[in-house]
Structure 1
Amino acid sequence: MTNVAVVGAGVMGIGVAQNLAQSGHTVTLVDRDQETVDRAIARIGLNCRMSAMLGGPEIDSDAVLARITGGTGLALLADAEVVIENITENWDLKSELYPRLDAAAPPDAVFVANTSAIPITRIASLTKRPAQVVGVHFMNPVPMKKAVELIPGHHTSEESLKKVRELLDSMGKKAIDVNDASGFVSNRVLMLTVNEAAYLVYEGVATAETVDEVFRSCFGHPMGPLETADLIGVDTILYSVEVLHEHFADSKYRPCPLLKKMTDAGLHGRKTGEGFYRYGDSGALLPN
């Protein structure tokens, strides 16, 4: 596989594009405006250069960047063998995008929905190629995570699954098979945990630091749930919880008002420099 299109140049799109290019694939990175694309490519270069400093492998940033082309039009999908969609976890946005992807991509291209909560069968229904739509829940930061959830929709073909498995294998990912349901496995559990942790802060039971310290010290978690929220994106957490609440109509998924307030205020975590914690330009945690 030599040409993979990555649609959405946010945090996840950056990670997916970097991981693909490191693995030798030619990548076309697409977003709505060129400034976002240029910023994403610059971030990929910085990530590669800093990898060894942060305990990761030595990465040839020039070689990685040489495999990535960025732009703004869906016409860039014309030669894609696989299209990986990474836009915001918002059904209205996805329902507007997928028919356009369907029209722009080659008829034999496979679509990979990088979603953490929206059922794959529902996404596939937006296209004329439901047999070629596969769900992959990548974890953040993508190049450092060794496993993904692999989710077939109701109509997904074995051929499409095989193609995506081969792609994931080339990226160094272990594919864990999960059946199609909102939130799959990881986010059915994780989003409840993060949402309830936010309620503890909202209700004044504990500070974010205290909540996370309990999980690190008592349970041996490398990161607490609110540190994880900042890494994923507070806005993404909110959208995922809202999808679960809508899909299951169960009050246990009621979104914490603090998540809504932080999202409205632009306190989205590491990507904006402030969430439950504050961060420097390099993403390093700053003292409160």
Structure 2
Amino acid sequence: MPMSFNLNVIEEFRANGGRVTGPFEGGNLLLLTTTGARSGRPHTVPLGYVRDHGLLLVVASAAGAPEHPQWYRNLLTHPVVRVELGTGTFDAIAVPAEGARRERLFAAVVRAAPGYGDYQTYTERELPVVVLERPAAPPGQPLEVRSLADKLLETHGWLRAQLRDVRREARSHTPGRPAGLGLQLRQHCLAFCAGLTHHHTGEDSAIFPALARSHPELAGVLDRLGAQHREIGRITEELVALLAAVEITEPDRLLLELDRMSAELEAHLDHEEEALLPALAGIPFPPARPAADTR
């Protein structure tokens, strides 16, 4: 679709709580924001969607064009996407379906929206069916985030849950399948690595320097935590490199790296919580806005 047409649809969608006129009027429409595979910039497109047994599905049809659309290539590099649906907005992990699951889901899509079947006849490429997974909140996290300590526990709970899921998936893919690790495992691994890197970058650039100023007695602890960040970062880079060659990666090596990261990360999170939660409990989250100057 022309960019100007997409921009008009996006503006109308956001201005009218997800309702639009024109060719999409009355249809199931969402906005998907991906991160550019090369540019790193956000890229938003309007897409039709289908629900099937609780799954939220989009198809990289490009109206039957010979090449995958850019938004699909983006999510293969950056699986964490932003979804706008009606008046709601949430983050999701974009996971292309494979094999028999893809066939079943594509059949469900065509039953709901037969035009996708027509698009498939226009091209030799297999149209990808992408599941937009909204990660469930891990058990035991704070019901309401009121302080930076609550936010830290919420983030740590997400990281622990994601790593457990990734390790479980890795083990389920390995028996008798030396090269069949799958897109699902790859996407979840990349999403976890991106979330972990984002969390540590935020701590290193903002939270730790602020704590060092307000709690100088924590200087040694913060230095040790920063060193742990760097070590975990090296493991993360090695894991991402393995995922880039996922079809030739030995499953045992991937599991070894996941186990190494898990041990390092669990020890780090436990240490961080023990050392920092008392100091963070007194810092409100989100931070209060500074009062307006009325002079």
Q: TM-score, normalised by structure 1?
A: 0.28
Q: TM-score, normalised by structure 2?
A: 0.27
Higher relative contact order (Cα pairs below 8 Å, separated by 6+ residues): 2
**Structure in which a larger fraction of residues adopt helix:** 2
Please tell me whether Structure 1 or Structure 2 has the larger radius of gyration of its CA atoms.
2
